[in-house]
Amino acid sequence: MNRISIKYKGPLRGEITTPPDKSISHRAIMFSSLAEGQSIVRNFLRAEDPLRTLEAFKQMGIEINESPQPSALSSRNNEIIISGKGLNGLTQPKNIIDCGNSGTTMRLLSGVLAGQLFPTSLTGDSSLRSRPMKRVITPLTEMGAVIESENGYPPLRIKGGKLTPISYKSPVASAQVKSAIILAGLYCDGVTMVIEPGKSRDHTERMLKSCGVEIDIKDLAVSVKGIASLKPMEITVPGDLSSAAFFIVAGLLVPQSEILIKNTGINPTRSGLIDILDLMGADIKLENERIVSGEPVADLYVKYSQLKGIDIGCDLILRAIDEFPILCVAAAKAEGTTRITGAKELRVKESDRIASMAAELRKMDVNIEELEDGLIIEGREDLKPAAAISYGDHRIAMSMLIAGLTAAGVTTVDDTDCVSTSFPGFMDMLGSLVA
Ligand code: S3P
C-alpha cells in the first residue's frame, strides 16, 4: 500500500501532453480483435485497465504485437498490431478472465461473449466484484445469452449463442451498458436498439461506424444492424480529458499557474467538465481544435482563476461522469456554494464516489452535505492539510493529491497504487510542471 505526500511548491507552469484515452483504448483493442484482418492502434494507453482488455483478447486466441517492446516509459506513440480473426474467430479461454478493476472490460466483454458459442467466466478485484452487473445481464439475457452471477454481481459465467435483436429501454445512462448491447447486436440478424435516459459517451458508435457497421442515432436511441464482418482499422488514440481533468483543475486552483495541456479529447459527450468550469468562471481556452481518428481534440490553455460555486444538474454531470471527484475539489476551493445533483451513478463506480469525496474533503475542513444523488459543497479559501485515503479508487487518489497541492502544509494520500489503473505517470507529470 503506497503513500504519497504532497505539498504546494509554487505555481504550475509549462506544457504537458494528455495521456491516451482509456475508453477509446479499450474499444480499439476489442473492435480490432473482432475485425477481419490487421489493425494498427497508435498511442494506446498502457495502464492496468486497458491492459486487462488486451490480455483478455490474447487469452481468446488473438495475436497482439506491441512495437517497440513496451516499457514503463514508452506509453506514448507505441504501435500495437492486432490480427483480428472476425466476429466468430475468438477461441475459448483456458482460464477465467480477470478484468482487474475494469468495469469497461467486464461489461463490454459481456456483450461480445453473449455472441460466442463457448462459455467464459469473468472475474475482477474486490471493487469490481461489488459493482452491479444486472444492468448488462438483463438485456443480454433477453437477447438469448445465459449468464450466471452472484446475485447480479461478478463473477459472471456467460454462455452465448444465437441471439435475437431487442429494443431495450435502459434504466441507466451508461456507455458500458449501451456498448454491451450494441456489441451483442452485431451478432443478431436484424436491428437492435438501445434507448437511454440520457446521452452517454459515444466512442463505440463512432469507432464501429469506421469499421463499416450500420449505426443509426436518433436523439437517445441508437440502432445497430447485425453484420457479417468488421473492417480492420488504423487508429491514433487521442488524449483522455478524464486524465487532463486533474491538471485543468490544478492549473485553475494553484495561484499564478499557466498550463498548456496538449492533445486532449473534447468529444461533446465527455466535455461536461469544461462547460461546468466555464460556468464557474474558469479561464480555459481551446486551441488548435481538430479531429483525430474520428474524435474531436484540442490543446487546452488553462490559467489560474478564482472560481465561484454553481448548481450542477444531471445533464452536465452525465457529460462529466468520471470528473465528479476532481470537480468536488474545484468546488471546495470556489467562492460560495456548489450543489451537485443527479449524480446517483457515482455511488456505484470504483468506490462510492459521493461518500468518498464527502469524507475526504471533510478532513480538509470543507463543509459538505451529502445527498442521495450528489453533494452540496461550501467552498473555502484554505484547505486544511489532511491524511487522506483513496478507497482503492484511482480518481479519488488523484483528486485528493490535487486537493493536497492547494492546501497550506503537507497532505498525505494512502493507497495510491490504484493510480496506475488509468494514469501510471501521474506524479511525474505533475512534478514536470513545478519549477
Ligand atoms: C466508460 C463509461 C462510464 C465511465 C467509465 C468508462 C466507458 O461508465 O464511468 O469510466 O468506457 O464506456 P458507465 O457506462 O457505467 O457510466
State in Å: Cα 229 to ligand 1 middle: 26
Q: Quote the CA–CA distance of 204 and 432 in Å, as a whole number.
A: 34
Q: What is the mean pLDDT of residues 5-30?
A: 98
pTM of the shown model: 0.97
Fold of domain 22-236 = UDP-n-acetylglucosamine1-carboxyvinyl-transferase; Chain (3.65.10)
135 close to 173: Cβ distance less than 8 angstroms: no
Q: Which percentage of the chain shows pLDDT scores above 70?
A: 98
State in Å: Cα 176 to ligand 1 middle: 5
Closest atom of ligand 1 to 175 CA is 14
User: Quick one: cell of 228?
Assistant: 457479417
Query: Which pLDDT score is estimated for 75?
Result: 47
The verdict on whether omega for the bond into residue 255 sits within 30 degrees of 0, i.e. cis, is no
Residue minimizing CA distance to atom 9 of ligand 1: 322
Burial group, residue 224, by CB count within 10 angstroms (0-12, 13-18, 19+): buried
Q: What is the mean pLDDT of residues 40-59?
A: 98
Fold of domain 3-19+238-431 = UDP-n-acetylglucosamine1-carboxyvinyl-transferase; Chain (3.65.10)
| pLDDT at residue 76 is higher than 70 | no
Q: What is the mean pLDDT of residues 100-129?
A: 98
- With the most atoms of ligand 1 within 8 angstroms of its CB, the residue from 101, 321, 344, 393 to mutate is 321
Backbone angles phi, psi at 98, to 5 degrees: -100, 110
Q: What is the mean pLDDT of residues 252-261?
A: 98
| pLDDT at residue 71 is higher than 70 | no
State in Å: Cα 147 to ligand 1 middle: 21
Closest atom of ligand 1 to 26 CA is 11
Residue minimizing CA distance to atom 13 of ligand 1: 174
- At 312-359, the pLDDT tens digits run 999 999 999 999 999 999 999 999 999 999 999 999 999 999 999 999
User: Quick one: cell of 213?
Assistant: 457497421
- With the most atoms of ligand 1 within 8 angstroms of its CB, the residue from 201, 240, 394 to mutate is 201
State in Å: Cα 132 to ligand 1 middle: 13
Q: Quote the CA–CA distance of 127 and 384 in Å, as a whole number.
A: 29
Closest atom of ligand 1 to 204 CA is 12
| pLDDT at residue 387 is higher than 90 | yes
Residues in the chain: 435
Q: What is the mean pLDDT of residues 380-406?
A: 98
Ligand 1 interacting residues, C-beta cut-off 6 A: 23, 104, 174-176, 179, 200-201, 321-322, 345
Residue minimizing CA distance to atom 16 of ligand 1: 174
State in Å: Cα 104 to ligand 1 middle: 6
Q: Helix (H, G, I), strand (E, B), or coil: what is residue 62?
A: coil
Q: Where in the chain is the domain with CATH 3.65.10.10?
A: 3-19+238-431, 22-236
pLDDT band at 73 (very low <50, low <70, confident <90, very high): very low
| pLDDT at residue 23 is higher than 80 | yes
Closest atom of ligand 1 to 176 CA is 14
Of the listed ranges 37-46, 52-61, 70-79, 375-384, the least confidently predicted one is 70-79
State in Å: Cα 152 to ligand 1 middle: 18
State in Å: Cα 362 to ligand 1 middle: 27
Q: Quote the CA–CA distance of 343 and 255 in Å, as a whole number.
A: 30
- What letter represents residue 106's amino acid? M
- At 144-175, the pLDDT tens digits run 999 999 999 999 999 998 999 999 999 999 99
| pLDDT at residue 59 is higher than 90 | yes
pLDDT band at 70 (very low <50, low <70, confident <90, very high): low
Q: Quote the CA–CA distance of 284 and 246 in Å, as a whole number.
A: 14
- With the most atoms of ligand 1 within 8 angstroms of its CB, the residue from 174, 314, 318 to mutate is 174
Query: Which pLDDT score is estimated for 161?
Result: 87
Closest atom of ligand 1 to 22 CA is 11
Q: Which percentage of the chain shows pLDDT scores above 90?
A: 96
- What letter represents residue 204's amino acid? T
Q: Cβ contacts of residue 395 below 8 Å, gap of 6+?
A: 242, 322, 325, 326, 349, 350, 353, 422
Query: Which pLDDT score is estimated for 336?
Result: 98
Residue minimizing CA distance to atom 10 of ligand 1: 322
State in Å: Cα 175 to ligand 1 middle: 6
- Quickly list H helices, 45-151: 48-59, 103-113, 134-143
Q: What amino acid positions are annotated as catalytic residues?
A: 322
- With the most atoms of ligand 1 within 8 angstroms of its CB, the residue from 21, 22, 23 to mutate is 23
- At 262-286, the pLDDT tens digits run 999 999 999 999 999 999 999 999 9
| pLDDT at residue 74 is higher than 70 | no
Closest atom of ligand 1 to 345 CA is 16
Burial group, residue 252, by CB count within 10 angstroms (0-12, 13-18, 19+): buried
Q: Helix (H, G, I), strand (E, B), or coil: what is residue 52?
A: helix
